[in-house]
Amino acid sequence: MNSSRHLTRLAAALAGVAVVSLSLSAQARELSVSTVLSDAFPWGQAAEKWAELVAERSDGELTLRVYPNSQLVNGDQTREFSAMRSGLIDAAVGSTINWSPQVPELNLFSLPFFMADLDAVDAVTGGAAGEMVFDAIESRGVVPLAWGENGFRQLSNSSGPIDEPADLDGLKIRVVGSPLFQDTFTALGANPTQMSWADAKPALTTGAVDGQENPLSVFDVARIDQVGQEYLTLWNYMNDPLVFAVNQQVWDSLSEEERTLLRDAAEEAGAWEIEMTREEEPERLAAIKERGVTVTELDETQHQAFVAATESVHDEWMPRIGSEIVEAARADMQGE
């Protein structure tokens, strides 16, 4: 009889442990995070840093699983925002360029030669225009949490040095799937060719395209010089901030504590990645030069020639972006 009671109590205790275990596992939650580049690049490192901070601060109750190389959208980086908005992806560290087809206001950052330097970028992302851009993202079912940085995009090619618009005449330049990029390079006399990054390196290798544009971090880590890109022009023609964001329904399902944790971790990861990316640029440029790449830096007259050649792009795109946001960005940059 005593033995029977002992077994009954043991069974009850084990059942209680099982209930507690199930309860704990039910509380633990994993969110999928999409990113275009792996952690070999600052972009991917930003996502991994976010995941690391969230796991630490939630004691593993909330975790982020990073899926790099656009694998959740079969390599089509321009579908990332739509997939997150629809709930196929829980969260992302994404590019303003890649999300701009669904959020036209993000084209603000792709206006050619609009933001002259990092101070201008910081003034916009940290100012009224940045808030307006975040509002635009949120109005489309995605909650933006923090900024990161992919950096100013520079131009490379396999034909020769480029220091004036005429040097681009007829060159096939790989661009992302954004109509604004098509219009910018068409205005400069080039032949823009849209393709995903997965297809870009093979196209550069075979000579199907003559050039491409990307931040120094991508040029350096991806060793773009090894696929015939022997000439690099530093022209800072546009900047590509990254955005840490979460699907609206996922966000609504989180507790207030979890939301605060997720946002704080995103802001910290973003600030960390921005600082790292900027600190590494001089070293990256030196490494690129050491590998034999011819680097062209524009003087003010040369720079203004490119500005003048793309004025028509501003006229066409300002209404699409929203003149209010563009004017707010100008005021931010002027410190008004």
Are 190 and 169 in contact by the 8 Å Cβ rule? The answer is: yes
Measure the CA–CA gap between 269 and 285, rounded to whole angstroms: 24
- Which CATH number is 29-333 given? 3.40.190.170
Torsion angle of the four alpha carbons 197, 87, 39, 133, in this order, in degrees rounded to the nearest 10: 80
Predicted pLDDT at 75: 87
Q: Mean pLDDT per segment of 10 residues, for the chain of length 336 residues?
A: 50 44 57 96 97 96 96 91 97 96 96 97 98 98 97 97 98 92 97 89 94 96 95 97 98 97 98 97 97 97 98 96 97 92
Structure tokens at 131: 């808030």
Predicted pLDDT at 23: 38
Predicted pLDDT at 27: 64
Predicted pLDDT at 198: 80
Measure the CA–CA gap between 165 and 193, rounded to whole angstroms: 17
DSSP string, 77-125: GGGHHHHHHHTSSSEEEEEHHHHTTT-GGGGGGGSTT---SHHHHHHHH
Q: Tell me the domain boundaries of the chain.
A: 29-333
Starting from the edge strand earliest in sequence, which strands make up the sheet with 239-247, in order?
Answer: 62-67, 29-34, 91-95, 239-247, 142-152
Predicted pLDDT at 11: 47
